[in-house]
Each structure stands twice: as C-alpha cells, then as structure tokens.
Amino acid sequence: MIAFYIALPHNKSIILNEDIMHYLSAIEPDERKLLIYKEVSKTAHQDISGQHFHVLVSWNDKTYDTFRKTILIKKYGLRGQSKDGLPRQYGRVTKIRDPLRMAAYTAKGGDPVAQEGYTNEDITKFNEISFIKEEKKTFIEDLMEHLMEERHRFIDPLGEILIKIIILQTIILKYHIDKQDKPLSRPKLEYYTNHYIQCIEPLRNRPDFLEEILIYIIKK
C-alpha cells in the first residue's frame, strides 16, 4: 500500500481519480484497494485555500514512482520539495506501520472522491478511529497547530532575520500559560522551539532557514 497527499484544488477530483485509476487498473480487481479523500487545511496550501487530497492505494513502489514522475511532476507540475520559499505540493508516507490507522487518517476528512476494496463498515470504523485519535490529541500537537496559525508573526521568508525566535517563544509561553496549570521550564521551551523549527515549519529545508536553525542550536 502507498499513502500520499497532493495539494490540488478540489475541482481537479475527477481528473485525479481518472489518473489514479489508470495505474490501478493493472491490478487484479479483487486485489485493488483505493481511498481518495478531499481535505481542507487551515494552515497549509493557502494558495489554493487549503484544498488537498489524501490517497491510499494498493500500488507498489515502482508504480508510485511512475505516477509521481508522469502525473504529479510532468502533468500537474507539482513540487516534491520546498523551493524558493514555496512549500512542497505532494508527499508520500515513507512507512505505513499500521494499515488500519493509515486508512483512518486518509479518510479523516470525511469527503470521499473514490473508494474501492473497502466496505461501508470499513469506512465507519475508519471514522471511529479518526475521531478517537482527535479526542486524544496531545498538548504538543495542539501547540504546533497554534504555531502554524501564528507563523506569520515569527517567520519572514524575505527578511534579514528569517526566524524571530523571541516572538516564537513568546507565543509558546503565552499558549502554555493559557492551557497548562504548571510552569514552563527552559528545557521544555527549547524543546518546543526546536520541535517547531526542525519538524513542523514548512520552510525548514530551505538552506538559509537551515543556517538560522543551526545558529539557534549552536547558541544554546
């Protein structure tokens, strides 16, 4: 199974489904599995109002690589890596540890484009799993979502200082004070800061951003 997302406007759902089915049709009917779901992000893909798709399909690596080169890159013209301050437009889950939870994650948007090889009972179970996971969201997950919503305050892709660490950490401190009933220690503050700038920030792979991240790490 292969799982990936594609940042495309939702009005491209028919052509996307046709392109995926073209590559899926080579698989025996009883072995085909496919989920394509629409989703809207509050923070990512803002150039297309957050619209994107999640896909889970019974391809092998070779089929996905052909689809990536022929459809995602050549036909759709999408970026697989962030470049010149612009975020990536598609990405694959490198390793699926739990197929059931991966299916639940794919279907979490609740707006299906295509389903094949799954029963209505399967879809109901996926939705239940997704709901439970949402209910158990951790503080750091909530914090990272909040930072993505506030990133315009501390990320300046065109400025001399690209990452305004003091503003970032002030937002972290304020959020912690509002949500937690215990003080925020310096090591925890630095952990949240590093987690955001190294794992969450969409432009973290850009060379000049990497330099500023490194400067912050070395100073500490």
For residue 160, what pLDDT is reported? Answer: 84
The mean pLDDT of 149-167, rounded to a whole number, is: 90
What is the tens place of the pLDDT at every residue in 61-103? 999 999 999 999 999 999 988 777 678 899 998 888 888 888 8
CB 201 within 8 A of CB 155: yes
Specify the DSSP element, H or E, that contains 104.
helix 99-106
Of the candidates 143, 20, 195, the one whose C-alpha atom is nearest the C-alpha of residue 90 is: 20
For residue 123, what pLDDT is reported? Answer: 82
List the domain boundaries for the chain.
2-135, 139-219
Question: Which two three-digit tokens encode residue 38?
Answer: 């629409």
